[in-house]
Amino acid sequence: MTHIKTAEDLMDETSPGMGENSKAPHSPAAPEQATETAMAKADRLRHRPGAVFWTSVGLIGAFTAWASLAPENLSVVMTAAMNWVAESVGWSYLLVTLGCIGLLIYIGISRFGTIRLGADDAKPDFSTWSWLAMILSAVMGIGLISYGVAEPISHFASPPHGLAEAGTMEAAVRAMQFSYFDWGPHAWAVFGVFGLAIAYSTHRRNNAGLVSPMLRPVFGKLVDGWFGKMIDIFAIIATLFGTTTSLGLGASQIGEGVDRVFGIPSSLVGQILIIAVITVIFTLSALSGVHRGIKYLSQGTMVLSAGLALFVLFTGPTNFISNLFFRSLGQYLSGFFAVSLLTPSTPEDVQWMQWWTYFMMAWWLSWGAFVGVFLAKISRGRTVRQFIAGVMIVPSVVFFAWFTIFGGSAIKFDMDNGGQIGAAALEDVNSAFFATLAELPLSGITSVVAIFLVVMYFVSGADANTFVLSMMSSRGTLKPTKPVLTTWGLLTGLCAVVLLIVGGLGALQQAAMLSALPFTVIVALLGYGLVVELRKDPQFEGTRALTQRDLSRILKREA
């Protein structure tokens, strides 16, 4: 069995590049003493939270108070802001995610692909199979249960942008095409840019594990003052709201599953109780510092996920699923750029984009800092080229397969049975996954397995996010204090609750989208800064690019 570790396990293990015993690669730009001083300062001051912590907590506290005291006013303001974003600058979410794909392809095939994330002689900390399994576990969570059926079947019942007739095979292919778009390379490229920048900054340049130091090539010494702190505050707020969205989705899925299996109706009060219980669990887990149980449970969830997918594949409409996969993959590849830059043309399109495409792209941006820290931690010793291939290609293929297996099964059942699952999904996306399992053998057992998977992804994901939020608000130390961990655990659960009360899933999505807006700029600057730093890498000291004129001169001399 592949040995899988959670993000917290990896954070607790001090390793070169992100710990106090780090050793810098042979590089004048990253002297070892400077790195030790920066990390030692973060550890020394970890009991004294600084301006980033207090400002972040203050802003989130003010938001929570606003939501509690004037929920209707908050809902009106958020809706108006989101409508403006979608109509005016929503295209920025599309442009930045597509740019991330182009940037990673360029870096991967260029000379920079040979740079090692660590010292020149560093070896990977994990085997290739373990590394890939951990990459998948970073994001393979609540979203796959919540949207694995809901998104394809919703697009099938109501095709995006009127590109097909509902209920047809063409609608099925379009449904999978847009699901691939939302969960494929566009998502993983965002994580890849964050992860590569953080991995290079920490393992190769020995900076602290924060977002702001990676923008030093762009802003210089500004990142060491209030401007850098503001960037880290943006990263914290975006990460928090990305997490609360997942918590809201998880609570809704657990509530729906309990209703299906035990007949206990799902309600807002029930979802709040679920969030409260899970918040206590993941906060205690983060405080304990002992994650052996979570480690083994993570291994179990990965095995159960694979087992559930294979069960549905072979007991469901296997031939339909396999044919749909290749047709949809061809449609996705042939229309890649058209869909990647497709903007709304009608008010109905604007609403659809807010609920699906814009929300998904913003969700990935809001998760970028957290997933980036995770990917950086497990990727020491890998080359840049290996990192890009492992982060962007492998997970995309796995996600394509998952969505085709579960979404394709739901679509086939709808084609044969009059569209019941699709109609239910349009009313409540939480019903789609369990409704699909109900069409298969052993639905009671598989539904319990799905509930267990949601709970475990819920706990482990929020646990890891609590640690990362604490780290980012404690000057980048890998040893955040218990009061800081407790604060972020409680704030995460509290924000999820108040947003559910204010406007349910819609409010959670709006919060994630609005908090991610500054990251459209930050990610673009991060990509530029990464290229600048790669060009200065010590591996290329004393070298320069060979031009055609240089080559002609060399050939003449040889002749």
For residue 124, give the CATH number of its domain.
1.20.1740
In a domain, 237, yes or no: yes
* For range 227-238, the mean pLDDT: 88
3-state secondary structure of 48: coil
**Per-residue pLDDT band at 459 (split at 50, 70, 90):** confident
Strand partners for 373: none
For residue 458, the Cα-to-chain-centroid distance in whole angstroms is 14
For 294-360, the DSSP string reads HHHHHHHHHHHHHHHHHHHHHHS-HHHHHHHHHHHHHHHHHTHHHHHT----SHHHHHHHHHTHHHH
How much of the chain, in percent, has pLDDT values that exceed 70?
86
What are the DSSP E strand ranges found in 138-220?
Answer: none
CB atoms closer than 10 angstroms to residue 431: 23
**Per-residue pLDDT band at 338 (split at 50, 70, 90):** very high
For residue 93, the Cα-to-chain-centroid distance in whole angstroms is 15
**Residue 505 and residue 490: Cα distance in Å, rounded?**
20
Contact partners, residue 527, CB within 8 Å, separation at least 6: 99, 100, 103, 193, 197
**Residue 512 and residue 68: Cα distance in Å, rounded?**
18
In a domain, 64, yes or no: yes
Residue 128's alpha-carbon distances to 123, 355, 386, in angstroms, are 12, 37, 10
Whether residue 216 is predicted with pLDDT greater than 60 in this model: the reply is yes
> What is the total count of domains within the chain?
1
How much of the chain, in percent, has pLDDT values that exceed 90?
25
Residue 503's alpha-carbon distances to 64, 74, 498, 509, in angstroms, are 13, 10, 9, 10
Predicted confidence at residue 173, as pLDDT, reads 96
* For range 129-136, the mean pLDDT: 77
| Higher per-residue pLDDT: 400 or 255 | 400
Question: Angle at the Cα of 403 (from 400 to 406), degrees rounded to 5?
Answer: 145
* Span 491-517, pLDDT tens digits: 888 888 887 777 666 776 777 778 788
| Higher per-residue pLDDT: 520 or 265 | 520
Contact partners, residue 133, CB within 8 Å, separation at least 6: 2, 4, 302
**Residues 5, 371: contact at Cβ < 8 Å?**
no
* Host domain of residue 142: 7-541
Strand partners for 116: 383
Predicted confidence at residue 13, as pLDDT, reads 46
162: left (phi over 0), alpha (psi -120 to 50) or beta: left
**Residues 224, 402: contact at Cβ < 8 Å?**
no
For residue 222, the Cα-to-chain-centroid distance in whole angstroms is 28
Predicted confidence at residue 165, as pLDDT, reads 92
Contact partners, residue 41, CB within 8 Å, separation at least 6: 475
* For range 319-324, the mean pLDDT: 96
Residue 449's alpha-carbon distances to 49, 277, 379, 444, in angstroms, are 41, 19, 31, 9
Predicted confidence at residue 505, as pLDDT, reads 63
In a domain, 375, yes or no: yes
Amino acid 440 reads L
**Residue 194 and residue 100: Cα distance in Å, rounded?**
10
Where is average pLDDT lowest: 153-162, 318-327, 349-358, 542-551?
A: 542-551
CB atoms closer than 10 angstroms to residue 299: 18
**Per-residue pLDDT band at 35 (split at 50, 70, 90):** very low
Whether residue 75 is predicted with pLDDT greater than 60 in this model: the reply is yes
Amino acid 71 reads P
163 DSSP 8-state letter: -
Q: Which two three-digit tokens encode residue 538?
A: 């010590």
* For range 348-367, the mean pLDDT: 86
Amino acid 235 reads A
Predicted confidence at residue 296, as pLDDT, reads 57
If you average pLDDT over each of 12-26, 222-236, 258-272, 412-426, which comes out highest? 222-236
In a domain, 555, yes or no: no
Whether residue 93 is predicted with pLDDT greater than 70 in this model: the reply is yes
Predicted confidence at residue 11, as pLDDT, reads 45
* For range 252-265, the mean pLDDT: 76
Strand partners for 383: 116
Predicted confidence at residue 21, as pLDDT, reads 39
3-state secondary structure of 136: helix
Question: Angle at the Cα of 197 (from 194 to 200), degrees rounded to 5?
Answer: 145
* For range 473-482, the mean pLDDT: 78
